[in-house]
Chains A and B, each alone.
Chain A
């Protein structure tokens, strides 16, 4: 019998979602943080550990009035918040701090931001960006035609990723895009970067989210239903040069991160009730399902198209509608975590009945990094 050691006791998103022109990026961090503190009945004086990505962690601490004894600013792209959950867990287990606040805020739509969210890469600039892949739609998509040829993935299957996620978004009043769409709608939407059309690409949104973690023995002192971490999660990097991916059919960082998360949690795929896979573009859930081992190589497109991940399917995936339909601030990973917490608390508008175990997997940069965590609402297993 294993006992949970780390719990997420506070979780919240920004008060508004999608279009928030009245708040700066710093303000979005703070709005989410104050909501997460209120969620679990704490104040900033109770926080002694702080972490964020894509923004100077020191500025967020100063703006909120937090004087931490531990901080982490690991910033590898949108999965960083998933990474920070496991880093925070390690710090809490080591006794480096007692109560950690992880914040995300990004003015992706209104552009009230001071920073680049990621470090520029020297070699990506010198050998790739000069040819034009300077934005995510023309860089993140580069491996996909190769995968389509090698694995039989089709444009219709890519379109179905967007269609199914829109079905999930319809449950969420806060989702930005809730109207049902068809494969035909996706395949007739504007061409962005062949073979990717607009509805296969993420939204561009304003928003934020925050989490509060502590040791599980304190979890029952809080008013919220605790959500526990199972195992240590996983993380890895392959690097920012997309041409140097070992395989265009598979992400090495996904495979390593997922393997470590499943191993340390001691779970098999059939134990997973709910799954979040960061979807900046429609191909990410396909790579994710295969690289995490839920299906074999080349099988994920058909798996989604056959309905296994849609409402009522055996493997509910991206139940908030994902980056394609819920929101995408730029570093979306925090919102995958938030939906998993809602599912484990039993309060998602798209609640999966009886769900006890959720896997959250994210991509950072453009196949540059990955992180995975496993959440559960059971305190022993």
Chain B
């Protein structure tokens, strides 16, 4: 099996991957919009266009917003595996796998609480989500 894909990292997104190496899930947020977070990172706000953008550390908590259980081949993945969209508590959505959880609809209830963990991939850490320990986030 080939290796899992590594992200192509660009100057505007380097901080995100640097943060992940330190176990932090970092987001951009717009100062002009009252520190409203957005995703994916960019040096301006997709809602108002302001360049007054900061970096915040997300709580790492979210909920299972939607998913599929894939039998479609993907580099480095053994099928079946879960591809999910996570709604972070900060109100932004992102794609992740659901780890430490069987790829089974019985185990994957929409809106179940999740927490971030990090998968070592080469020299990078890739944010992943797993069922939250201790139930409701």
Contact = CB atoms under 8 A, between A and B. Distances in A.
Nearest to A128: B95
Contacts of A248: 65-66, 85
B77 A132 contact: yes
A251 B73 CA distance: 27
B95 A138 contact: no
B94 A243 contact: yes
Nearest to A134: B74
B119 to A, nearest CB: 10
A191 B9 CA distance: 34
Interface stretch (A74-82, A141-149, A268-276, A349-357): A141-149
Contacts, number: 105
A58 interface: no
Interface string A107-145: 000000000000000110111111111110110011111
A244 B4 CA distance: 23
B110 A146 contact: yes
Interface residues of A, number: 34
Contact of B95 (A131, A137, A141, A144): A131
Interface in B1-29: 4-10, 13
Contacts of B72: 132, 134-135, 137-138, 192-193
A222 interface: no
B71 A191 contact: yes
Nearest to A196: B68
B81 A194 contact: no
A122 B8 contact: yes
Given A131-B96, A132-B97, A133-B95, A143 B105 contact: no
B83 A131 contact: yes
Given A142-B83, A149-B110, A130 B7 contact: yes
A123 B40 contact: yes
B36 interface: no
A232 B65 CA distance: 37
B134 interface: no
A129 B76 CA distance: 12
A138 B68 CA distance: 7
B34 interface: no
Contacts of A145: 66-68, 110
Given A144-B66, A193-B69, A248-B65, A125 B94 contact: no
B71 A244 contact: no
B95 A243 contact: yes
A194 B108 CA distance: 12
Contacts of B135: none
Contacts of B8: 122, 125-126
A127 B42 CA distance: 13
Interface string A27-52: 00000000000000000000000000
A163 interface: no
A194 B107 CA distance: 13
Contacts of A129: 5
B54 interface: no
A142 B93 CA distance: 12
A81 B110 CA distance: 37
22 contacts: A122-B8, A125-B5, A130-B4, A130-B7, A131-B97, A134-B72, A134-B74, A135-B74, A138-B72, A138-B74, A142-B95, A145-B67, A146-B110, A191-B71, A193-B70, A195-B105, A196-B68, A241-B40, A242-B85, A242-B95, A243-B94, A248-B65
Interface of A: 122-123, 125-135, 137-138, 141-146, 149, 190-196, 241-244, 248
Sorted nearest first, the 6 A-B pairs with minimum C-beta distance are A132-B74, A146-B66, A194-B69, A126-B7, A138-B72, A138-B70
